[in-house]
Amino acid sequence: MGRWSYSSRWTVEECKTITTKFLNEHKYFDGGVRWGGMNWSRNGEKTGSIGFVVSTVEGDEYIRFQYTQTDRNTDEKTELDYKARLDWTPCYFGGRRWWFICPLVINGRVCNRRVGSLHLGGGKYFGCRHCYNLTYESSKESHKFDRVFREMGVTAKQAKELFK
């Protein structure tokens, strides 16, 4: 999980992520309460796992996360067990589209943003990419020479014209 020199922001791709798409594909939204989990790996090596409970009971929709996090500096283990609310919107041709409600508190305010993905972005808890200020690798890649162009005294648009 290295950083490119032109940006210190974490990317979505570097984080452990859970999506409503994954939960839907694995039938967690088919009603009632369902237990499950998932594993993450990088280059064939397991990097983490999580257990969760998904409730789609009317009026009590949530996902409950249960996992252990180890501090890399002290090797201290912390057991985490918390909920994030779920919401849904009707689809035009029937059915429901499920959403996470971001549970993070930033500057004393609960985010409550409706999102399709939650990320473990350098903190202890899953939250949306906005709260963790995450970017995408493709975005970083498309701007990696901007600083070089600025130092040359040209804009990215002018540089593009030069290299046609």
139 assigned to some structural domain: no
pLDDT of 144 above 70 = no
Rounded to an integer, the average pLDDT of 130-158 is 68
DSSP result, 112-155: --EESEEEE-SSSS-B-TTTTT-B-HHHHHHTTTHHHHHHHT--
Nearest to 123 by CA among 67, 85, 55: 67
Q: What is the pLDDT of residues 81-96, one digit of tens each?
A: 999 999 999 999 999 9
For CA atoms 24, 27, 30, 35, the dihedral sign is negative
Residue 80 belongs to a domain: yes
- 19: in domain: yes
Question: With 50 as the cut, is the pLDDT of residue 29 above it?
Answer: yes
Nearest-angstrom CA–CA distance, 97 and 115: 11
Structural domain for 41, as ranges? 15-134
- Residue 64 located in a structural domain: yes
Residue 146 lies in a domain: no
Report yes or no on 161 lying in a domain.
no
The CA distances from residue 72 to 67, 69, 78, 123, in Å, are 16, 9, 12, 12
Is 160's pLDDT higher than 70? no
Mean pLDDT, range 137-146, rounded to an integer: 59
Quickly state the pLDDT bin for 104 (edges 50, 70, 90). Answer: very high
Give the model confidence (pLDDT) of 38-62 as tens digits. Answer: 887 777 777 778 999 999 999 999 9
pTM (two decimals): 0.74
What's the domain count of the chain?
Answer: 1
d(CA 88, CA 63): 13
Q: What pLDDT does residue 5 have?
A: 45
SS3 20: helix
* SS3 state at 25: helix
The answer to whether residue 1 sits within a structural domain is no
> Does 159 fall in a domain?
no
